[in-house]
Amino acid sequence: SHADCNCLTWTISILALAVVYTVIQYRKSSKIKAHYAARTKVALRERDQSIEWARKETMLVSEDERKKIEAMDFRQLRDALQAGDVTAESVLQVYCGLAVKSHEKTNCITKIIKEALSDARELDQKAKDHSYKKPPLFGIPLSVKEQIELAGHRNTWGLAKQIDNIPKEDSYQVMKLREEGMIPFCQTNIPVTCMTYTCNNSIYGTSTNPHNSRRTCGGSSGGEGALLGSGGSICGLGSDLGGSVRIPAAYCGCCAFKPSPTRCSTAQIPFAIPMRPIITLTEGPMAQDSYAIVEMMRAMWSDTYISNKDPLTVPIDFREELFKEGKKFRIGYYDTDGYIDPLPGNRRVVREAVDLLKSKGHDLVPFSLGDIAAESCRGVFAIALADGGAKVLDRLKNEPLARMMMPLKLVLYVPMIFGKVAGWIMKLYGDSPTADFFMCPSKNASDVQAGIDKIYDCRKNLCQKMKENDIDLLLCPTTLSPAPPHSLPTTTPMTAMHSTMIWNAMDFPAGVVTTGSWTEKDETELESYPAHGILERALKKRCKNSVGLPLSVQIVAPSFRDELVLRVMVDLHEAMKERGDAV
Ligand SMILES: *[C@@H]1O[C@H](CO)[C@@H](O)[C@H](O)[C@H]1NC(C)=O
Ligand SMILES: *[C@@H]1O[C@H](CO)[C@@H](O)[C@H](O)[C@H]1NC(C)=O
């Protein structure tokens, strides 16, 4: 009949249209992916050429000179450069060689910056003039996380779609460090979107842990951690939104510092997730030792340079009166926050650090966070996906993702109702942290506001509790475990980051110092670790055989007391030296 005929025509037309649409979409996305693949080849070729160049440059330094420079720690290097015992040029050449060695081991470098050599020569030339006053960090090479703006160099965040994003100017923090004499000499690897704590992207591949290649170097400043943990740099600049300088430092065995967020500029950061401004991505130093961290922060805050560039930055100079040596502080400590228990070794190093800091005259008292860890974590999850993950999904659209990184995207595609159901099931099983991860994402603006209020309440309660107990700082675990296998971070709930993320939520400055490593005894004690939830079970099972992997502690103080944290980091280092550690 006429009606049947009409219906059939319609069906065929719609089907045909759907096929055409699918083909067009497929071709469009194939075209984009082919374009990315071609550009990736170019980026890799540039990286490899820069590494070849660095290999040749490093050969130009004499064996004796090289050995002399390699043996220097941060302060020795700084003093030698100030005194003119070594030139900025030869230091740079030596560090080019060390960085290449680290890269061969861990795949941590995205580019060596050739211009660094002319920067070094220019400094040496200036130094020949006797009226020239050397800046405090004269000639010290600086490695920089690829996500931080460097004029003229790729700034991809591990995203193929950003592969041709070349900033026109340096980040203000980098500008200031240049003013102070530092020379950015290489860029280091990051995970795609910089939103996880493992280190894989489709452009530069995976960076590995220098102490065990089957383990991750952490993230998102993962390349920085791998480079510093294997001696390829003496200090670097990373950034931290939920632990991104502290986690790689903890996994790879170096130091890191996340400043009070508003004391650094974030004006140039193009990518905000809904957590901003409650939680702000903050640039922060990573280094072989605490002394380097202090000198970088002292230089960064030596005047109002950064706040002049960006008036939204709080103009506070480095407060020497807070940092002064010999001050005794009252430090509260805990080896578990009561929300998720760290593995045995990660708790042990906190108890050891208590003794180390007592030996420096500080007063250490047990401290309990109460429900602040859990509540702040819930608050963060409530705001992190306030846009339903739209921003992150937009970034991941058409991105070639390694299988390991897929969960990052999949979790955002699952309708929220499934999350809620999964959450209820987890709750029934008594796995409260995993339940929080699934259930806390917000449905509407009221939920988001409730999350923000939760975080503000936690801030207020914590500050009050510290005041009531007369406590200046806190000492606590950095991470729940030593470096886990590469795929653990993307396949377990992000609750794993709560032990660092809490200090982003609280807006507290936080420092990390590596104080030891995982022992045979920790390995034995791991067997009796009570693994309650999904995350704990994964950690217990997959972090076995960790003997020798670095362990660290975290030191935090209320907002704008950055100098207190730096003081205690240095005291911890001093105490370790007195204990006889080679630090
Ligand atoms: C990391 O990413 C690269 C490029 O997409 C991929 O080839 C590689 O297998 C990934 N590594 C891991 C450990 O998944
Ligand atoms: C927002 O969503 C929550 C459930 O997540 C609901 O209880 C609440 O009534 C909603 N508020 C508004 C204003 O729609």
Q: Which residues line ligand 1 (CB under 6 A)?
A: 200, 202, 205-206, 402, 404, 486
Active site residue 118: no
Mean pLDDT for all residues in the chain? 95
Residue bearing the CA closest to ligand 2, atom 5 = 443
Residue bearing the CA closest to ligand 2, atom 9 = 446
Is the preceding peptide bond at 277 cis, omega within 30 degrees of 0?
yes
pLDDT digits (tens, 9 = 90+) for 451-476: 999 999 999 999 999 999 999 999 99
pLDDT attached to residue 389: 85
Classify burial at 443, counting beta carbons within 10 Å of its beta carbon; exposed 0-12, middle 13-18, buried 19 or more.
exposed
pLDDT digits (tens, 9 = 90+) for 385-399: 888 888 888 888 888
Outline where DSSP puts E strands in 67-180. 109-112, 141-145
Atom of ligand 2 nearest to the CA of 442: 5
Report the C-alpha gap between 147 and 241 in whole angstroms: 12
Would you list the DSSP string of 165-219?
---SS--HHHHHHHHTT-EEEEEE---GGG-SSS-EETTTEE-EETTEEEEE--S
Long-range own/partner contacts, residues 300-309 (CB < 8 A, 24 or more apart):
300/173, 300/176, 300/177, 300/180, 300/264, 301/263, 302/136, 302/180, 305/172, 305/175, 305/176, 305/179, 306/172, 306/173, 306/176, 306/264, 306/265, 307/265, 309/172, 309/175, 309/265, 309/267
Residue 539's DSSP bridge partners are none
Q: Are 97 and 58 in contact (CB under 8 A)?
A: yes
Reported pTM? 0.95
pLDDT attached to residue 3: 63
pLDDT digits (tens, 9 = 90+) for 20-74: 999 998 898 889 989 999 999 999 999 999 999 999 999 999 999 999 999 999 9
Paired tokens of 41: 């080849």
Classify burial at 123, counting beta carbons within 10 Å of its beta carbon; exposed 0-12, middle 13-18, buried 19 or more.
buried
Q: 460: CA distance to ligand 2 center in Å? A: 25
